[in-house]
Chains A and B, each alone.
Chain A
């Protein structure tokens, strides 16, 4: 069968083909919005027109079968108009208010989870993991599923002091930018990589490999036409593996995940912040990572109990102090918590005023 003729450099279709008439008419002229429930909101334009949104969860990995099911719903209730959010939720764009209740009812019957709007937990930003990446030292999708099952009520109905943004990265490449999340899981290696010298000779550029190491731990090894790694300097980042795959960073029995907290993206009230280390390590415990899930639930509960209204996790921690964060959560403070990387000295305390450990 003959293929259609390819075109190059056409880019994506223009967005205006895909926006419903109510948006076309009121484009850029929205007046306000109201959150109606954990998963619904209405945007009202200066003209008085209203656009209703129903937000539903997705596991990000979607089969074409489920996408078609979503499309059928959009055709039935929204004249076919829908969008996705940055955090991988599906949004049904409803122009006719009377269709809201029937849509919500059908979503419930079909076991869709409606939520993620307002001071709650939205979907977890994550990356490929064992599902599709060579670099992964955990599975992102499995962790996401296990965590969201546990905090499900905070997605659908229950409120928190402010939004809590969760993320999972399946290695330190952090393709999904977890480094500014309220609470994030990042998978880490803990052992110096092993080198398959014969293969290094064959497939790697030695100078590039040496240059790839952020801590200058890699030296030439002329004897084996390969490289050596200075074990005292290596921080197991895996960048050498990226550049030269025969340097194997994977050690399944010693790989696992860390939890970082207190990051934020928006500039509201305080500047955007990086997430910082809360718990340095958990072993991978597939399929449901119970200890990781429990630790996140604990941090979430302590935050919900102690933060002021509108405070994000990082703002709350900075108000009470990190030493108090460790007090309140009962998380053990270890050598790993003390920075010894690029900007370490900026993190050491330079004041005699602090709170005691209890």
Chain B
């Protein structure tokens, strides 16, 4: 699978799960590796690519780190949107 396609699938999954459960990086990797039959390392690379450009972000709450879709506020602060 093309990285871009995999990343779209990751994003779709994140949107589906939004507000339902705080997802750890590992949760996302596991779910998508299952869904797409890609190797966990491939999913991890694709996920990291999204985090590096602010399409997803690391978050912290409930005493643990998680992955989330960034807020507009975050994107504005990082200069990714106006």
A residues adjacent to B (C-beta < 8 A): 204-205, 208, 212, 242-244
Contact = CB atoms under 8 A, between A and B. Distances in A.
Nearest to A245: B61
A9 to B, nearest CB: 11
Contacts of B22: 205
Contacts of B62: 204-205, 208, 243-244
Given A205-B22, A243-B62, A244-B62, 5 more contacts: A205-B62, A208-B63, A212-B63, A242-B63, A243-B63
Interface string B31-60: 000000000000000000000000000000
Contacts of A243: 62-63
Interface in B2-24: 22
A205 B63 CA distance: 11
A105 B22 CA distance: 58
A208 B62 CA distance: 7
Contacts of A208: 62-63
B44 to A, nearest CB: 15
Contacts of B63: 208, 212, 242-243
10 contacts: A204-B62, A205-B22, A205-B62, A208-B62, A208-B63, A212-B63, A242-B63, A243-B62, A243-B63, A244-B62
Nearest to B64: A208
A275 to B, nearest CB: 25
A172 to B, nearest CB: 14
List 9 A-B pairs, minimum CB-CB distance, nearest first.
A208-B62, A243-B63, A243-B62, A242-B63, A205-B62, A205-B22, A212-B63, A204-B62, A244-B62
A36 B62 CA distance: 51
Nearest to A244: B62
A344 B63 CA distance: 28
Nearest to A239: B63
A205 B22 CA distance: 9
A244 B63 CA distance: 9
A243 B63 CA distance: 6
A208 B22 CA distance: 10
Nearest to A203: B61
A205 B19 CA distance: 10
A131 B50 CA distance: 36
A212 B63 CA distance: 10
Nearest to B22: A205
B18 to A, nearest CB: 14
A208 B24 CA distance: 14
A243 B60 CA distance: 11
A244 B62 CA distance: 7
A331 B62 CA distance: 40
A13 to B, nearest CB: 24
